[in-house]
Amino acid sequence: MTKTKPMAIACFGLPGSYTYEAMMSYFDGKDIEPQYASQFEDVVQAVARRQVRYGVLPIENSSTGGITDVYDLIHRYDCHIAGEKYVRIEHNLLGVPGATLADIHEVYSHPQGIAQCRDFLKGHEDWLLHPYFSTSQSAEMVHKTGDVHIGAIANTISADMYGLTILARHINDNTMNYTRFFIISAEMEESDDMDKITLVLTTKHKPGALYHVLGHFFYNAMNMTHLESRPIKGRPFEYFFHIDVMGNIRNPATAIVLHNLEEHCNYFKILGNYPSDKGGNIR
């Protein structure tokens, strides 16, 4: 009997990252072959070039908002959203075995990790803060240096994987801190349980244009859950709008709303219709 080849998945960061946690949870029970990347664009490129089946990327944090570079990359490389996963974020300060909090002079983490721990870091204003590729790569780097004066902001999985000591627990400002992750694919996918639509559009350049666009959702009782604007390169003060709305494009009423909406936009594209995580990890 021929053995099925594992499904290749591109994952931002290294084993132990929050993206790793999202990937393992989303693909739980499936035979996968993770491929790790230190840049968002590397993940999206791998998907667009069909080197992997899916990619996993952070898209939005409940404390710091949307990760806009990821929206831009998905759109630029013509990729699609196949799913989402929410992961609770619990940052810790990690150091090498034997280090104490008093030993720390420098801290590494992903820029989002640093931003989400501002209150804790204000109590240590003498520390040098170094934005780094990802939380897990920060933990790996601290492990490799073996320096008691260097710490990393990361999760407990990274602490276990890289043999680090937790010097301070739960240091994120928001105790109910979650990150939403996108699972992306090269092709648009469909499933029976898809109930969330992500689309990108530009409005006509006239007063009230966005108001009229959003009215399509309001007057048709479609719940809009997210709105993110991004500047259009080379066109000052004009924007792409990334919108999440609940619905299934197979539903005739939803299809009519989206068709009518497209008629009132300069640019309109559905990035994905996929099963929502339904807040299963938010508690």
- Using alpha carbons, list the distances in angstroms from residue 250 to 52, 113, 120, 190, 220: 27, 39, 48, 9, 16
Q: What is the DSSP string of 198-231?
A: EEEEEE-SSTTHHHHHHHHHHTTT--EEEEEEEE
Q: What are the residues facing 153 on neighbouring strands?
A: 93
Cα–Cα distance for residue pair 44/52, rounded to 1 Å: 10
Q: Which residue has the tokens 């492990």?
A: 143
Residues of the chain with CATH 3.30.70.260: 196-274
Q: What are the residues facing 231 on neighbouring strands?
A: 239
pLDDT in tens, 188-199: 998 889 999 999
- What fold characterizes domain 7-88+177-185? D-Maltodextrin-Binding Protein; domain 2 (3.40.190)
Q: Is 55 helix (H, G, I), strand (E, B) or coil?
A: strand
pLDDT in tens, 219-270: 899 999 999 998 888 888 788 999 999 999 999 999 999 999 998 899 999 9
Helix H segments across the chain? 18-26, 40-48, 68-76, 111-115, 118-122, 135-145, 156-161, 209-218, 252-263
Name, in order, each residue with C-beta under 8 angstroms of 268's C-beta and a sequence gap of 6 or more: 199, 200, 201, 261, 262
Backbone angles phi, psi at 111, to 5 degrees: -50, -35
Q: What is the pLDDT of residue 2?
A: 60
The whole-number average pLDDT for the span 51-73 is 93
pLDDT at 48 over 70: yes
Please say whether the beta carbons of 111 and 12 come within 8 A.
Answer: no
pLDDT at 160 over 70: yes
Residues of the chain with CATH 3.40.190.10: 7-88+177-185, 92-168
- What fold characterizes domain 196-274? Alpha-Beta Plaits (3.30.70)
Q: What is the pLDDT of residue 283?
A: 47
pLDDT in tens, 65-117: 888 899 999 999 999 999 999 999 999 999 999 999 999 999 999 999 999 99
Architecture of domain 92-168: 3-Layer(aba) Sandwich (3.40)
pLDDT at 161 over 80: yes
